[in-house]
Every structure is written in C-alpha cells, then in structure tokens.
C-alpha cells in the first residue's frame, strides 16, 4: 500500500482556503515554542489560530512552566496573531494513561498513548468551541511518527465530529526552519522529549557515551 503524503493533503486544503479567500479557524495543540515556531509562521497565512498548551506528560512543573513561558514570549516577540489557551499542570492524567508502558522505548506504544492524550484535548476543545479544524505540532519532530499522529487525529475527528488537519510539518524544510527560528528568538530547546522516561533514557545515553 502506498504511504500517504500528509503534506500534499495539507497543501490541497490550504489551496482551497486560498482560492476561497477566507481563513478557517484552527485549534492547534502545541508542545513547545521551538516546534510551534515554524507551524505558526506557516499556518497563520491560512488559519485563525488558537494554541492549546496542554502537556501533562512533562516531567516537572518547572519544565512545564519553562516551555509555556517560552511559547508566550515567542508569540509576543514574533507578533504571531494567535490566541493562547493555557491549562494547569496535571501530570496524573499522563501517568494514569501510560501505566504499564513505563519501560517502552521512545517511539513505542507509550508515545502513541501520549499523542492521543494531547490530541484528544484539542479535538474536545475544537468541537466545544465550533472550530473548523484541529491538529497538533507534534509531526514536526523527526523522532515522532507522523502516520500514527494523523491516524489518531482521524479517529478523534470521527469521535468528536470535527475535521482533523493532516500534517507532516517536518516536510518543506519545516524542521530546519524551526531550528532557524529557535536561534533567531533564542528559544530554550530541551534535549529530551518531555516525560520522566525520555529524560531517564537521555541520561542513560549520556552516561553510556561519556
Ligand atoms: S517520549 Fe515524548 S511522546 Fe513519548 S511518552 Fe514521553 S513525552 Fe510522550
């Protein structure tokens, strides 16, 4: 079976929006400022965006606050015309959901549960507030599985009766551009994905290689 080209699917949607001459509303789940930077720059041309900073997977309140503060600073300094919805740090949602998957490697089942937990909040919020679309910035990471992210998004779209915006933001040099923007704005770029298990694995790798 041919692999789907999510970037092409997104291009078709943005072409239709351009032809129509009217922006659509988008509820965009964001994980951190570096990943959001390119996504905002790119999507603002086509969508009125509301960002959802909902990341109960973070390993500490300190890390959660740091990433949230950087996001707000980026939006202000770059002047992106977006709204931001913030949520309280409630890691118990994450731990309840990934129970039994603590030892999974990054990119395994635990991560798929984690994608779904965060995308679900965006689908719920989008449905409750009458958005045209919802999606997440997660597919910009070369370490994350775009097929899984989109598959989960499509499943939630059916569940909540709201359109999921397909994405593979690393395409079209999206990941490269996010690094350029991170440098330009001096953004904090964490060296682990976010949860306590990704931090543990990163520290283990450092020890092995030192
Ligand atoms: S490694 Fe990243 S995506 Fe996977 S569970 Fe941890 S925070 Fe979530």
* Tens digits of residue pLDDT in 63-121: 999 999 999 999 999 999 999 999 999 999 999 999 999 999 999 999 999 999 999 99
Query: Does pTM surpass 0.75?
Result: yes
Write down the pLDDT at residue 208.
Answer: 85
Burial (0-12, 13-18, 19+ Cβ within 10 Å), 155: middle
The reply to whether ligand 1 has any atom less than 6 angstroms from the CB of 201 is: no
- Minimal-distance CA residue to ligand 1 atom 4: 111
CA of 36 to the centre of ligand 1 (A): 17
Percent of the chain with pLDDT strictly greater than 70: 100
Ligand 1 atom 6: residue of nearest CA: 195
State the Cα–Cα distance between residues 165 and 138, nearest whole angstrom: 12
* Range 52-62 average pLDDT: 98
Q: How far is the CA of 156 from the centre of ligand 1 (A)?
A: 19
**Alpha-helical runs (H) found in the chain:** 6-20, 33-43, 61-78, 92-97, 109-128, 146-160, 174-184, 196-209
Amino acid 210: pLDDT: 79
pLDDT tens across 106-158, in order? 999 999 999 999 999 999 999 999 999 999 999 999 999 999 999 999 999 99
For residue 3, is pLDDT > 90?
no
Say what the pLDDT of residue 1 is: 62
Asked if residue 106 has its Cβ within 6 Å of ligand 1, the reply is yes
Q: Is 111 in the pocket of ligand 1 (CB under 6 A)?
A: yes
| CB of 104 closer than 6 angstroms to any ligand 1 atom | no
**Gap from CA of 12 to ligand 1 centroid (Å):** 30
Quick check: 55 and 33 in contact, CB under 8 A? no
Mean pLDDT over the full length of the chain: 96
**Using a 6 Å cutoff on CB, does residue 198 contact ligand 1?**
yes
Interhelix angle for 61-78 vs 33-43, to 10°? Answer: 30
Buried b (16+ CB within 10 A) or exposed e, 63-76: bbebbbebbeebbe
């Amino acid at each position: 079976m041919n692999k789907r080209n999510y970037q092409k699917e997104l291009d078709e949607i943005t072409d239709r929006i351009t032809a129509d001459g009217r922006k659509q509303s988008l509820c965009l789940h964001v994980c951190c400022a570096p990943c959001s930077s390119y996504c905002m720059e790119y999507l603002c041309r086509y969508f009125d965006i509301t960002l959802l900073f909902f990341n109960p997977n973070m390993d500490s309140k300190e890390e959660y606050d740091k990433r949230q503060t950087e996001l707000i600073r980026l939006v202000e300094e770059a002047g992106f015309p977006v709204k931001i919805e913030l949520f309280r740090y409630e890691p118990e949602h994450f731990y309840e959901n990934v129970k039994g998957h603590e030892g999974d490697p990054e990119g395994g089942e635990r991560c798929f549960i984690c994608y779904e937990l965060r995308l679900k909040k965006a689908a719920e919020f989008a449905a409750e507030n009458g958005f045209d679309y919802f999606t997440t910035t997660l597919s910009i990471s070369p370490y994350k599985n775009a097929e899984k992210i989109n598959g989960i998004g499509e499943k939630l779209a059916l569940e909540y009766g709201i359109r999921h915006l397909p994405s593979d933001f690393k395409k079209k040099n999206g990941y490269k551009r996010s690094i350029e923007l991170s440098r330009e704005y001096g953004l904090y770029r964490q060296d682990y994905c976010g949860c306590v298990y990704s931090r543990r694995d990163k520290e283990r790798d450092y020890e092995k290689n030192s």
